[in-house]
Chain A
Amino acid sequence: MSSTTADASLALPELSGGPAPRQAAAARSFPAALDTPAPPRLWRTGLLAAGAWALVGLLTLYWPNKVVGFSDWAFTSELGAALLAVALALATVALSAGHGRVGQRLRPAGQWLVAVPLLLALWELLTAKLALLPSPFFAPPQSLIDVAYEDWSRLGLSTLHSLRLLANGFVLGALVGFVTGVWIGWSRIAGYWVHPLLRFLGPVPASALLPLAFFFAPSSYAAAVFLIALASFFPVAVLTWSGVAGVNKSYYDVARTVGASEWFLVLRVAIPAALPQVFVGLFMALGASFSTLVTAEMMGVKAGLGWYLQWAQGWAAYANMYAALLVMAVLCSGLITLLFTVRDRALSWQKGTVKW
C-alpha cells in the first residue's frame, strides 16, 4: 500500500485543489501596477473609469453638435445621459472598493473601462462635435441609437433571418462533414476514393460557386444553405479525417483485446480520440460560414444582415450600416464563444484543471 499512498500524495494536490488554479489565474490578470495587493480600500482604476465615462457624457451633452446642412443628430442628449449613468454606476462600484460580485467581475476589465469611453469621446468629437470626418459616411455614436430606435424591427428580423440561414447551413455542413471525415478516416475504400476528391474540390471557396448555385437551386435560400453547408463541410471533414487517422493505434489494440466490435472502435475509440481536432474543424467552419453567409445574402438572398448592409448602402443610410456591422460582430463573436464553451465542456478531460 505504501507506494499507493505516496502516489496519492503526489496526485492529490491536483485533485483536491480544483478551483485554486483558476483563482490564481484570475489574480494574475489584474493589472498589477494599478491594483495594490491585499484588500484595497478603494478601486482606483474604477474611479478613473467613472471619471472617463462622466467626461464623455458631459462632452456629449454640453458641446453643441456642429450643424452640417441637415437636421441635428437625434438622441444626443439621451446618449449623454446614458453615458453619465454608466459613470454613476461605475463610481458606485468603485467606491464600494469593488468587493461585490459585480465589482469582482469588472475589476479585470478595469483598463478597458477607461479606454472605451476615451475612444467614444474621440469618435464623438470627430463626427458630431467637430464634423472632421465627412458627415454621411461617418456617423456619430448617437446615430446607432437612432437606428436601433427607428429600425429595430427590420434589423431584428434581418438578424433572425441570418441566424436561421446560418444555423441551417452550418449544422447541415458540419454533420455531413463529420460523418464524411469519420468515414474516410476509417474505411480504406472511402479513403481511397473520397479523400482525393475532397483534397481537389474542398479548397475551392464556396462563394466561387455562388452563380452556379443560384442557377441550379430551386430557390436562392436553398442555394445559400447549400453554399454555407459546403463552406463548413470542408474544414470539418478534413480535420475529422485527420483526427481519426491520427488516433494512437494501440488504443485500438487495447479495445480489441477486451472484445470490442468494429462499431465500438469507431464510436467509443476513434471519435472521442478525434474530438479535439473536430472542434478545430468546427471553429474554422464557423468562420468560413460567416463569410459565405454575408456574400450569399448580398448576392441573392433577399433577407438577412448581408442584405441589410446592401440595402442601407443603397439608401446612403450609413448609420444603419454601422449598426448592422455591430450586430454582426456581436453575433459572430457570440457564436464562436458559444462553440468554445461547448468545446471546453466536451474536452474537460484535456485540461489541467477538471471541473467536477
Chain B
Amino acid sequence: MVDTATARPQAEAARRGAQIEVRNVSHWFKVPSGVLQVLDGVDLQVAPGEFVALLGPSGCGKSTLLRLVAGLEPATAGEITQDGEPITRPDPSRIVVFQDPTLYPWRTVRDNVALGPQAQGRLKERQARVDDALRLVGLAEFAQAFPHQLSGGMAQRVALARALVNDPQLLVLDEPLGKLDSLTRLQMQSELVSLWQREGFSALLVTHDVEEALFLAQRVIVFSDRPARIAAELHVDLPYPRHRGDPRLTELRHQALRHLGLDASW
C-alpha cells in the first residue's frame, strides 16, 4: 500500500513525533440530571514517535480523552501538554481521524484532502503535498471523484490523507477503522503501521478491538468502565511488521481481556 520509494527527503528531517503528557486529568459532562464524570485522574505519556493504544469498554470516556488531547474541549481538571506547552485549542500539528470519515460531500476527494492547507491559507505552496498524500493512501486516480462514489475503506483512506497532508506530529485516531468490514479493516491496520513508520508521527489510537490495539501499538493502556481510569498497561514488545498468529500476541490478548473483566470467555 505505502510506496516507500517515493519518500520525500525533507519529510524525515521536518517531522518528529510530538511528546504528549496527560497529568491527572479528570473530566465531567453536564447532563440533564447534573454532572457525569467521564475521566478520573488519568496520567499518560506518549513519547515522540510512539504508538499508544487506549483500550476500554464502549462509552468509557476514551474518546473524550482524545477530544481533550486534540484541544477540541478543555479538560475540567488536570493538565495536558505537547512538548511541554499546554494544549488549549485545536492545532494542525495534532490531527484527529474520526470513526466516520466525515468527508465534505460537496468537495472532490482532492479538495477534501486539501482542507487543512486551505484552512491555514497555505494551499498554493502545498499543492504537491496534497497530491503526495493522495498517492500515499493509493487514491491518486480518484482525486476528482466525489465522496459518494467511494467505498467505506476508500473514504477512510481519504480521511487519513486529509490528516497526513498537514504533516502532524501527533495523529489522534478515534476508532478510525471501527465501521469498516473486517477484511478492509485488517488491511488498513497494516497500512496504518506503514504510514506511522514512514512518517514518524506519534500516534494515539482509541479502539475497543483488543486485537487491533495489540497489532498496532507499542503500548496498550486498558481503561476501566466510566469514569475511565487506567486499569492496566501492556507493553507489546514485538517488532513490526507483526504477525497476527504470533503466540505472544495471543498471550497479551488474554491479559488484556482479563483486565477488561472478560476472563471467563477465554
Contact = CB atoms under 8 A, between A and B. Distances in A.
A354 interface: yes
A272 B106 contact: yes
Contacts of A150: none
Interface stretch (A46-54, A151-159, A247-255, A305-313): A247-255
B110 interface: no
A272 B120 CA distance: 19
Contacts, number: 99
Contacts of A269: 104
Interface in B207-245: none
Of A4, A11, A261, A272, chain B has the most CB atoms within 10 Å of the CB of: A4
A323 B94 CA distance: 67
Interface in A236-288: 248, 250-251, 253-261, 264, 268-269, 272-273, 275
Nearest to A350: B105
Contact of B120 (A248, A258, A275, A354): A258
Contacts of B102: 248, 250-251, 253-254
Given A1-B1, A11-B145, A259-B119, A253 B72 contact: yes
B145 A260 contact: no
A4 B191 CA distance: 11
Nearest to A254: B102
A193 to B, nearest CB: 25
A4 B138 contact: yes
A3 interface: yes
Contact of A258 (B95, B98, B100, B149): B95
B35 interface: no
Contact of A254 (B98, B146, B151): B98
Interface in A1-36: 1-4, 7-8, 10-11, 14-15
Contact of B72 (A15, A251, A257): A257
Contacts of A352: 148
B90 interface: yes
A100 to B, nearest CB: 34
Contacts of A10: 151
Contact of A273 (B71, B106, B115, B141): B106
A259 B149 contact: no
A258 B146 contact: no
B258 to A, nearest CB: 33
A258 B118 CA distance: 9
Interface in B175-229: 183-184, 187
Contacts of A70: none
B138 A255 contact: no
B120 A3 contact: no
Interface residues of B, number: 41
Nearest to A4: B138
A275 B106 CA distance: 10
Nearest to B95: A257
Interface string B108-143: 000000011011100000000000000000110110
A258 B89 CA distance: 11
Contacts of A62: none
Contacts of B77: none
Contacts of B106: 272-273, 275, 347, 349-350
Contact of A253 (B1, B98, B187): B98
B67 to A, nearest CB: 8
Nearest to B108: A349
Nearest to A258: B116
Interface string B62-101: 0000000011100000000000000000111011101010
A15 B90 contact: no
A8 to B, nearest CB: 8
Interface of A: 1-4, 7-8, 10-11, 14-15, 248, 250-251, 253-261, 264, 268-269, 272-273, 275, 347, 349-350, 352, 354, 356
25 contacts: A1-B138, A2-B187, A4-B157, A7-B153, A11-B154, A15-B142, A251-B102, A253-B96, A253-B98, A253-B102, A257-B72, A257-B91, A257-B96, A259-B120, A261-B119, A264-B119, A268-B119, A273-B106, A349-B107, A349-B146, A349-B148, A352-B148, A354-B146, A354-B149, A356-B144
Interface of B: 1, 70-72, 90-92, 94-96, 98, 100, 102, 104-107, 115-116, 118-120, 138-139, 141-142, 144-146, 148-151, 153-154, 157, 162, 166, 183-184, 187
Enumerate the 9 nearest inter-chain pairs by beta-carbon distance, A residue then B residue, closest first: A258-B116, A260-B119, A259-B92, A4-B138, A256-B90, A257-B90, A272-B106, A7-B151, A349-B106
